[in-house]
């Protein structure tokens, strides 16, 4: 082991030992060539690796260190150099006097939602730059977030964790690292991705406001934590306030339902400043297919709800990725706000849209403990009936969701060609269930949505009381589908025109 005063790689003079972790030893050092203070990390080869495995780890560390050196961002610890000393890789990095977020939480306790959002905004900004550069961090966690005295946050160890095997399964089949911050797909053996980074960031911010990560951090039983992570069932945060909808999205089991780093950054930036998330990134999304919809004010609402059909699709601007959306803005307590949105089709609206009144006989609501299995079964069967059996689906709805009227419900689901559950219903609370669904629209578009349902007992039956749309992504139909649609339209128009001409000839004769 190196000591204070040693000269590494003929250039870096060790001044003091900063810390030791599973990945290696970190030193404060002097770069004698450029006359600056740097941090030097000596990567350690995991014990038990044979010569081939050790060489593979060394080469991977060198390669990924070079990749990380491409990133230059004020909220990321810069990698200045990749070198070797005594056959072991050295990473030479920016020296940033700071405490880790893990240290801050251990000594000072959980952060307020605004303070956590300030840290999260900076880390998300660093991840956004990394992802644009093709770099996946693979090890976002509080111990890798450095907090300076002025509140500046920097993400450390870019590209290094995977190189050292920190979150991968080794050839011996041993899982190393910190399972509490892994994405479920990584815990199940899949390769880390940018979406995995977003999950880990969500778990990090969750830990910052709740005091512990979503699945706990039992260092004495890491395999137990890993098992819970792989199951992907997250308990909603109780102290996150305005961060709640965003965190639920970042911690979605399905990677496709998570926001990008840019979207998470903008949402947290707004929350950190005490504002509702920017509408450009967090628009309440109408939960119906078809033309643009109009929000109805609370004064005229008679309750808060979301329609049970897929959201209307606004076409994204050209060359701009349509943002993920979060359907709830915070209102003090850590509760998701269900947003009342009803379809307005303009001149094409059905004559009786929204006119149907609920029954005058009030159903009886019962308070009893709901089991996860029965709640999940109701949500699963609701989507299993659609779009072909709306009668059976309608039977699963409570009074608030039925208040929209059966005509509107049928009309909206008539626009859906196929329903596929992409993230199975899972209980997330005493009366809530999360589910991810993909809708193939008859117009050719595909809509993917992530919902939270609140269930209730009504006349001894479990029904869906409210629906909160957490995230939505819409993909336009392929050009080939559009061409076919255009051909069909032209063909239909041509046949109509021809029939009109034939009718006119008949009249003349």
Based on the domain organization, do 108 and 85 belong to the same domain?
A: no
Q: Which two tokens stand for residue 476?
A: 């336009």
pLDDT of residue 224: 73
Eight-class DSSP state of 68: H
- Quote the CA–CA distance of 285 and 305 in Å, as a whole number: 12
Q: Which two tokens stand for residue 399?
A: 């009074």
- Residue written as token pair 């605004």: 114
pLDDT of residue 418: 96
Q: Exposed e or buried b for every residue in 159-175, given b needs 16+ CB within 10 A?
A: bbbbbbbbbbeeeeeeb
pLDDT of residue 209: 97
Nearest CA-CA partner of 306 in 433, 458, 466: 466
Q: Is 41 annotated as a binding residue?
A: yes
Eight-class DSSP state of 311: P
Of 33, 66, 94, the position where a domain reaches its end is 94
Report if residue 280 sits inside a domain: no
Can you list the residues of the chain whose pLDDT is less than 50?
161-177, 278-309, 311-361, 480-509
pLDDT of residue 195: 96
CATH number of residue 227's parent domain:
1.10.510.10
CATH number of residue 446's parent domain:
3.10.450
Of 46, 61, 94, the position where a domain reaches its end is 94
Q: Answer for the pair 434, 254: CB distance below 8 angstroms, yes or no.
A: no
Based on the domain organization, do 443 and 336 belong to the same domain?
A: yes
Report if residue 1 sits inside a domain: no
CATH number of residue 72's parent domain:
3.30.200.20
Report if residue 349 sits inside a domain: yes
- Residue written as token pair 């004020």: 74
Q: Answer for the pair 344, 350: CB distance below 8 angstroms, yes or no.
A: no
Give per-residue pLDDT as tens, 91-141: 899 999 999 999 999 999 999 999 999 999 999 999 999 999 889 998 999
pTM for the model stands at 0.56
Based on the domain organization, do 421 and 500 belong to the same domain?
A: no
Based on the domain organization, do 508 and 416 belong to the same domain?
A: no
Nearest CA-CA partner of 440 in 410, 481, 401, 408: 481
Number of domains in the chain: 4
What is the sign of the dihedral through the CA atoms of 121, 125, 127 and 131?
positive
Based on the domain organization, do 267 and 220 belong to the same domain?
A: yes
Based on the domain organization, do 63 and 123 belong to the same domain?
A: no
Based on the domain organization, do 109 and 81 belong to the same domain?
A: no
- Quote the CA–CA distance of 34 and 31 in Å, as a whole number: 6
Based on the domain organization, do 86 and 111 belong to the same domain?
A: no
Based on the domain organization, do 47 and 126 belong to the same domain?
A: no
Report if residue 278 sits inside a domain: no
Give per-residue pLDDT as tens, 342-368: 223 333 332 222 333 334 445 566 678
Based on the domain organization, do 64 and 207 belong to the same domain?
A: no
Report if residue 422 sits inside a domain: yes
Out of 6, 50, 81, 139, pick the active-site residue.
139
Report if residue 283 sits inside a domain: no
Report if residue 288 sits inside a domain: no
Based on the domain organization, do 262 and 227 belong to the same domain?
A: yes
pLDDT of residue 478: 59
Give per-residue pLDDT as tens, 222-263: 767 777 888 787 888 999 999 999 999 999 999 999 999 999
Based on the domain organization, do 135 and 226 belong to the same domain?
A: yes
Task: Tell me which residue range forms the domain holding 377.
Answer: 294-477
pLDDT of residue 235: 81
Q: Answer for the pair 213, 206: CB distance below 8 angstroms, yes or no.
A: yes
Report if residue 289 sits inside a domain: no
pLDDT of residue 310: 56
Q: 408 catalytic, yes or no? A: no
Per-residue DSSP letters for 227-278?
HHHHHT-PPPPSS-GGGHHHHHHHT-SSGGGSPPHHHHHHHHHHHHTTSPPP
């Amino acid at each position: 082991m190196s000591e204070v005063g040693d000269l590494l790689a003929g250039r870096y003079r060790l001044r003091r030992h900063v810390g030791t972790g599973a990945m290696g030893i970190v030193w404060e050092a002097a770069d004698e060539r450029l006359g600056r203070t740097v941090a030097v990390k000596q990567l350690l080869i995991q014990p038990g690796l044979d010569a081939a495995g050790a060489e593979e780890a060394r080469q991977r560390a060198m390669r990924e260190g070079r990749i990380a050196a491409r990133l230059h961002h004020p909220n990321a610890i810069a990698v200045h150099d990749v070198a070797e000393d005594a056959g072991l890789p050295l990473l030479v990095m920016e020296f940033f006097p700071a405490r880790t977020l893990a240290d801050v939480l251990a000594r000072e306790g959980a952060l307020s939602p605004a303070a956590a959002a300030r840290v999260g905004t900076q880390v998300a900004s660093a991840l956004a730059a990394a992802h644009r550069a093709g770099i996946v961090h693979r090890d976002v966690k509080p111990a890798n977030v450095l907090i300076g005295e002025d509140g500046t946050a920097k993400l450390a160890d870019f590209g290094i964790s995977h190189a050292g095997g920190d979150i991968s399964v080794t050839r011996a089949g041993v899982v190393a690292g910190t399972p509490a911050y892994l994405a479920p797909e990584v815990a199940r053996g899949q390769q880390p991705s940018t979406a995995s980074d977003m999950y880990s960031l969500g778990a990090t911010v969750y830990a910052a406001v709740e005091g512990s990560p979503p699945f706990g951090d039992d260092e004495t039983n890491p395999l137990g934590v890993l098992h819970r992570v792989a199951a992907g069932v997250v308990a909603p945060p109780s102290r996150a306030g305005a961060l709640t909808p965003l965190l639920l999205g970042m911690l979605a089991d399905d990677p496709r339902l998570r926001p990008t780093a840019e979207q998470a950054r903008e949402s947290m930036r707004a929350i950190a400043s005490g504002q509702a998330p920017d509408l450009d990134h967090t628009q309440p999304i109408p939960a119906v297919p078809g033309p643009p919809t109009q929000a109805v004010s609370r004064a005229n609402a008679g309750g808060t709800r979301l329609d049970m059909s897929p959201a209307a699709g606004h076409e994204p601007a050209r060359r701009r990725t349509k943002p993920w959306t979060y359907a709830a803005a915070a209102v003090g307590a850590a509760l998701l706000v269900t947003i009342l949105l009803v379809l307005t089709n303009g001149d094409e609206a059905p004559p009786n849209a929204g006119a149907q009144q609920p029954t005058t006989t009030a159903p009886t609501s019962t308070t009893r403990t709901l089991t996860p299995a029965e709640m999940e079964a109701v949500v699963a069967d609701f989507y299993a009936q659609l779009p072909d059996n709306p009668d059976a689906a309608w039977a699963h709805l409570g009074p608030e969701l039925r208040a929209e009227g059966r005509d509107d419900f049928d009309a909206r689901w008539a626009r859906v060609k196929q329903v596929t559950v992409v993230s199975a219903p899972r209980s997330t609370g005493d009366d809530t269930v999360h589910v991810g669904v993909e809708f193939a629209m008859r117009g050719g578009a595909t809509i993917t949505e992530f919902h939270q349902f609140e269930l209730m007992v009504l006349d001894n039956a479990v029904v869906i009381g409210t629906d909160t749309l957490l995230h939505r992504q819409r993909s336009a139909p392929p050009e080939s589908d559009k061409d076919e649609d255009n051909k069909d339209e032209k063909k239909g128009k041509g046949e109509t025109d021809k029939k009109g001409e034939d009718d006119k000839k008949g009249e003349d004769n």
